[in-house]
Structure 1
Amino acid sequence: MSTLQFVALLLAAIGPLLALAGLVRLPTSLVLVAVGTGTAFLPGLPDGPVDPQVLITLFLPPVIFAASIRVSVHLWRFTLGPGVAIGIGLTAVTIPLIAVAARWLLPGLGWPPALLLGIIGALFDTRIFHEAEGRPQVPRAIADALKVREMVARILALGVLGLVLHAVDEGAPTPLGAVGRFTWALLAAAAAGWALGRGSVWLRGRVGPAPVEIAVALALPFLCALAAQWLGFSLSATIIAAALTVSSSDVDRETGATRTSPEARISATAFWEEVSLLLSAVLFVLAGRALPHALRALESWPLWQTAGTAAALVLLILGLQFAFSYLAACMPAPAEALRDKEVGVGREITRLTAAAVMAWACTPSILGIVIALSAPEGMEDRGLTLVVAAFLILAAVVVQGLTLRSAVQAASLGNEEEEKREEELAGAVASRAAEGKEDAQDGYDAVRCALLQLRAENHIGDEMLQKMLRETDLSARAAEGPAAALPGAGPPNP
C-alpha cells in the first residue's frame, strides 16, 4: 500500500473509530492510540513514522487555532492567578526538573534530549477531561483555569523548544541571549498574530458567500505558522494571538453588530469543531504507530529502563501538577467556587480533592509525539527520547483515560445548578435586550451586546456565551427568509 493510500484509509477510518469508541464507552483517545499501535504490525502498510515537518506545517496550526478560537480574552482576564500565573510557574519548573530527572534516570543522556523530554512533560491537554464530561462536574472557575494553563504551557514550552533546536543547530546561546531571543519570539509573535488576525477579520467582512469567508479563516493559522517559521517567532503564540484577536473582534462590543454573516458564523463553528476532531484523531493514531518504530531505535538502552523512566516522569509530572493545582485552588476564584462544598466537609479536604482532580485531568499532550519526531536526525539519543516520550504519553492516556470519569464523579465538586443558572440568566437578559426593538436586526445586535456584557462581568462563561451567540445566529439566519434558504453559493462546475 502506498503512503497516499494509507492516508486515505486513515481518514476513512476515523469516523467509524470514533463511533466505535462511543459504542464501547471507552475514551476515544485510548481507542485511537490502540488502533494506531496495532496498525504498526499489519503487513503491507507503509513503514516508519510520518515526516514531522508534515505534522508541524499541516496539522499543528489548525489544531492549535481550533482549540483557541472559542476562547475569549475575558477567560485570560479572569484567570490571571489560577490560570496564567500558575501556568507560567508550572511550565518554568516542570521543564528543568524533568530534564534533570531524565539525566539522573538515564545516565549519559545529553542535555538537548533531556530538555526535549522536559518540554514534552510540560505540555498537557484536557481532551480526556472533556471526553469524560468533566465539565460541568467541576466548577467553571476550575475548568477555566485548566484551559488557560493548557494554552500558557503550549506558548512557553514550544518557545523553549525553539531555543533547544536552535542550540542543537548553532550551539548553546548565552543565558542573556537565550532570554532575549525567547522574549523577542513571544512579543513579536503576539504582534504578528494580532496583525494577521485583524487582517483576516477585515477581509472576511468584505467577502462572501459563507464558504469563501471560511476559506479566508482557514488561511489564517497557516499564514501564522509560515510567518513564525520565516521570522523566528513562536508558532503557538502567533496562532493563539491571532485566534484571540478574531474571537474578540467578530462581534462589535459596543453595538453587537457582527462583521460576518450569521451563516458564516454558524458554519465556521461547525467547521473548526470538525477540524479539531479529525486532526486530533489522526495525531492519536499516528502516535500509536510511532511507538513500535521508536522501539527499534533504542539501540543499547534496555526496554525496562526506558519504561521505568517514563513511569517515574509521569509520577513527577503528576506531583508537580498537584502542587500547583493546590495553589490554584487556594486563589480567590476557585476558592469561592468551592466554598459551598466546604460546608460540612472541611476546607483542606475540598481543596486537596480539587487539586487532585485538576492534576488528574491534565494528561501529557499528544503534541509531544510531534515534538519528539521533530528532533534533528543527528541529535544524540533521538530514538531514546522518542521512546520515552511515547511511553510517557501513552501510559497517561491509558491510565488517566480509563479512570478520569470515575475520579471526577467521585470528587463531587460540581454544582449542578451553576450551568443552569448561567443559561437562565443569559436567556432572561437576551429577552429583555430584544424587547421594544422594531427592527429584527437591531434586536439581534442588542442581544449579542447584552451577552458580551454578561461575559465581560464574568456572569457567564465562554461556553455559555458561545452557545447563546450561536442560538442568536440561528434565529437571525432563519429570519432572513426563503431567499437565504440555501446555504452559501453553488458548487463550482469543473
Structure 2
Amino acid sequence: MSPTLGLQLLLTATGAIAVAAVARRRGWPAPLLLVVAGLVVSPLLPPVPMEPELVLYVFLPPLLYSAALDSSYLRLRDAKRSVGLLSVGLVLFTTAVVGMLVHLLLPDLPLALAFALGAIIAPPDAVAAVAVGRRLGLPRGSLTLLVGESLFNDATALTLYRVAIGAAVGGSISLWQGLGEFLLAAVGGVAIGLALAFLFAWIFQHTRDSLVENTLMLLIPFGAYLAAESVHASGVIAVVVVGLYLGNRMHLRGFGTRLVSDSVWKVTDFLLEAVVFALIGLQLTTVVTGIVGYSPWQVAAYAVAVLAVTIISRFVWVFTVTYLIKALGRKNAQPTVPQTVILGWAGMRGVVSLAAAFAIPDSVPARDRAMLLFLTFTTVIGTLLIQGTTFPALIRRLGVSSAQEQYEDRLSEAAAQQAALEAGLAELERLVSAEGGEPDEIQKQVIDQLREKSWRRSLTAWERLGGGTGAGGTETPSILYRRLRREMLQAERQVFVRLRDERRLDDEVLREVMAQLDFEEAILERD
C-alpha cells in the first residue's frame, strides 16, 4: 500500500469516526449519515480508491466474525430453512432476474457479465437494517433472519460472481462446472471453518489468559478467510462457522476474556463500519467519470430500472416463499404480514457489492466495466438512501414491536435468577457446614454479605418486570442502591486522584485502584 493511499485511508477513518460520533449523539443511523457525507465531499476531494483486496481481506472477515460471535447459533439453527431461502435462494433469484433485465437493456453486454452484475448486487448488507431494527425494537425473529441472511449471502453471491466472471473472461462454463464450484466453496468453507473452530477451542482450553485469547480472536477471522480462499473454498462461510462455534462456547472462557472481547469487538465494528460506509459515498467521482458513450438520460434510466427490479425481486421472493411455506402447512414461527413487509424492505446493499464491482478484471472492456460499476454504485446508494431512510418510519407505521418478547425475557431472567439464587445459597450453606464449627464474627459478616448480594441480584431482575420503578413512581431499592453507590465511587476516585497529585500515591497504584472501581461500576451498570 502506497503512503498516499495510507494517508487517504487515515483521513477517511478520522472523518468517518467524527461523522459516526455525531450520528450516535443525535440518535441517527450512522451508516446512512456516513454515506451521505461521503457523497457530499467526494467532488471536493481527490479520489479515494476502493481497493477490493482491502475490503474483502481486511474489512470483511472481522465484521463477519464479530456478527457471528454475537449471533445465536440456536436461533439460527431453528430458522435455518428461512435463512437458507434468503441467503441462497433469494441471491440466486435476484442474480437471475437482474441478469436478464440487464441483458435486455444492454444487448451488447455479454450475458455472463449481465449475470455477474446480478450476483454483485444480489446480497444485502444488513448492518444498517439491524442497527435500526434493534433501536426500534424489531422482533427477535426478524432480526435473526436479517443477521443470518447477511452472514451467508455473501458466500453465495461471491461464488456466483466468480463463476460468471470466469465465463466472461475465460470462455463458457457449463452448469455442472458452476454447480461444482458452488459446492466446493460451500462444503470447503464449512470443513475449514469447523477444523479451525475445533483447533482454537482446544487452544483456548489450555490458555486461560484473557489477553492471549483475545489477541488470537483478532487473528482468527483473517486466518480462516485466507485458509479457505487459498483452496478456492468460501472464506465467508469459514469465518462465519468459526465465529458461530466459538461464540456458542464463549461461556467456557473466563470472565476476563468475555469482558475484554466485548469491548474489543465493539471498537473494531465501530471503526470498520464507519470506514466502509464512508468509502461507499466517496466513490461518486470515480464512478461517474468512468461512464462514456451513453447519454445522461440513458444511464439514469438503466440505473432506475436495475434499482427498481432489485427492490421488487426481494418482495416477490419473500412474499412468495412465505405464503408457499404457509400453504404447505408449516405455519410455526412464520412472520406476520407486517414482519414480511419489513423483511422485504430490508434490502440495503453495502460495501461488498462495490468491492466485487471494482474487482472486475481489466480484461473486461473498459466501457462495459464502467457501466457495471456505475449500476452497482447507484443500486447500493439507492437502496441505502431510499430504503434506509424510510425503514424506521415503516417499522413505526406497521407497529412491529418486540414489547411482548421483552416482557417474556424479563420474566425468564427473573425466574432464572431465582433458580440460580437458590442454587448459590444452597452451595453457600453446604460450604459453611463443611467448614465445621461455629463461624466467628468476621466469617458471619462475610456470609451475610454473600447472602445479601445474591438476594439483591434476584430482586433487581424481578423489579425490571415493573419497569424499574416502585409504588408511586419512586425508585426501587436496587435503583437507589446503584445511584448512591455510583456517587460514592466518584467521590472515592477524586480522593485517589488528589493523593496522586500530591505525590502520596504512585500512578501505577492509581491505575490499579481505578480499575477496581471501574469494574465495580461496570457491574452496577449490568445489574
Shorter-chain-normalised TM-score: which range? 0.7 to 0.9
Residue 23 of structure 1: how far off its partner (Å): 4.8
Asked if 2 retains the 8 angstrom alpha-carbon contact of 1:126 and 1:362, the reply is yes
- Paired position in structure 1 for 2:488: none
* AA at the equivalent of 2:23: A
Unaligned 5+ runs, structure 1: 252-257, 340-349, 448-480, 489-494
- Paired position in structure 2 for 1:274: 267
Asked if 2 retains the 8 angstrom alpha-carbon contact of 1:59 and 1:279, the reply is yes
- Percent identity over the alignment is 21
Asked if 1 retains the 8 angstrom alpha-carbon contact of 2:188 and 2:228, the reply is no
Asked if 2 retains the 8 angstrom alpha-carbon contact of 1:99 and 1:118, the reply is yes
Please report the RMSD computed on the Cα atoms of aligned residues, expressed in angstroms: 3.1
After TM superposition, the structure 1 = structure 2 runs for residues 292-441 of structure 1, keeping only pairs within 5 Å, are 292-327=285-320, 329-330=322-323, 331=325, 351=337, 353-380=338-365, 381-437=368-424
d(CA) in 2 for partners of 1:406 and 1:400?
Answer: 10
Residue 168 of structure 1: how far off its partner (Å): 4.5
1:117-165 deviations in Å (ceiling 9; x for gaps): 2112311022222333456644322222232223332221122123234
Q: Aligned in 2, Cα 1:309/1:355: closer, same or farther, shift over 3 Å?
A: farther
What SS class does the counterpart of residue 132 from structure 1 fall into?
helix
1:432-468 deviations in Å (ceiling 9; x for gaps): 034233668x99xxx9xxxxxxxxxxxxxxxxxxxxx
Does structure 1 residue 19 correspond to structure 2 residue 7? no
Asked if 1 retains the 8 angstrom alpha-carbon contact of 2:97 and 2:313, the reply is no
TM-score, length of structure 2 as denominator length: 0.75
Residue 36 of structure 1: how far off its partner (Å): 1.8
Residue 428 of structure 1: how far off its partner (Å): 1.4
Asked if 2 retains the 8 angstrom alpha-carbon contact of 1:363 and 1:393, the reply is yes
Identify which range, 371-380 or 301-310, moves more after superposition: 301-310
* AA at the equivalent of 1:209: D
- Paired position in structure 1 for 2:283: 290
Q: Aligned in 2, Cα 1:24/1:436: closer, same or farther, shift over 3 Å?
A: closer
Higher RCO (CA < 8 A, seq sep 6+): 1
Does structure 1 residue 53 correspond to structure 2 residue 53? yes
d(CA) in 2 for partners of 1:163 and 1:486?
Answer: 56
Asked if 2 retains the 8 angstrom alpha-carbon contact of 1:94 and 1:317, the reply is yes
1:55-95 deviations in Å (ceiling 9; x for gaps): 22211211221222212321222113332234432122111
Residue 357 of structure 1: how far off its partner (Å): 1.6
Aligned residues: 431
Asked if 1 retains the 8 angstrom alpha-carbon contact of 2:152 and 2:236, the reply is no
Residue 484 of structure 1: how far off its partner (Å): 8.9
What SS class does the counterpart of residue 273 from structure 2 fall into?
helix
Residue 176 of structure 1: how far off its partner (Å): 1.4
Asked if 2 retains the 8 angstrom alpha-carbon contact of 1:69 and 1:244, the reply is yes
Match of 2:256 among 259, 263, 266: 263
Asked if 2 retains the 8 angstrom alpha-carbon contact of 1:329 and 1:335, the reply is no
Residue 101 of structure 1: how far off its partner (Å): 0.7
d(CA) in 1 for partners of 2:86 and 2:132?
Answer: 24
TM-score, length of structure 1 as denominator length: 0.79
Unaligned 5+ runs, structure 2: 432-453, 455-511, 520-527
After TM superposition, the structure 1 = structure 2 runs for residues 464-483 of structure 1, keeping only pairs within 5 Å, are none
Residue 371 of structure 1: how far off its partner (Å): 1.0
What SS class does the counterpart of residue 108 from structure 2 fall into?
coil
1:174-201 deviations in Å (ceiling 9; x for gaps): 2212211211121011000111122222
* AA at the equivalent of 2:287: A
d(CA) in 2 for partners of 1:119 and 1:294?
Answer: 19
- Paired position in structure 2 for 1:214: 214
Q: Aligned in 2, Cα 1:415/1:247: closer, same or farther, shift over 3 Å?
A: closer
d(CA) in 2 for partners of 1:329 and 1:138?
Answer: 18
* AA at the equivalent of 1:272: W
1:255-288 deviations in Å (ceiling 9; x for gaps): xxx1x22111121122223222221221111111
What SS class does the counterpart of residue 299 from structure 1 fall into?
coil
* AA at the equivalent of 1:93: F
Asked if 2 retains the 8 angstrom alpha-carbon contact of 1:36 and 1:288, the reply is yes
Asked if 2 retains the 8 angstrom alpha-carbon contact of 1:68 and 1:240, the reply is yes
* AA at the equivalent of 2:59: F
d(CA) in 2 for partners of 1:387 and 1:355?
Answer: 30
Identify which range, 204-213 or 182-191, moves more after superposition: 204-213
Residue 96 of structure 1: how far off its partner (Å): 1.2
After TM superposition, the structure 1 = structure 2 runs for residues 234-249 of structure 1, keeping only pairs within 5 Å, are 234-249=234-249
Task: Write 1 or 2 for the structure with the bigger share of helix.
Answer: 2
What SS class does the counterpart of residue 363 from structure 2 fall into?
coil
1:34-73 deviations in Å (ceiling 9; x for gaps): 2222333225x4x351322222221121122122221232
Does structure 1 residue 140 correspond to structure 2 residue 140? yes
d(CA) in 2 for partners of 1:302 and 1:49?
Answer: 25
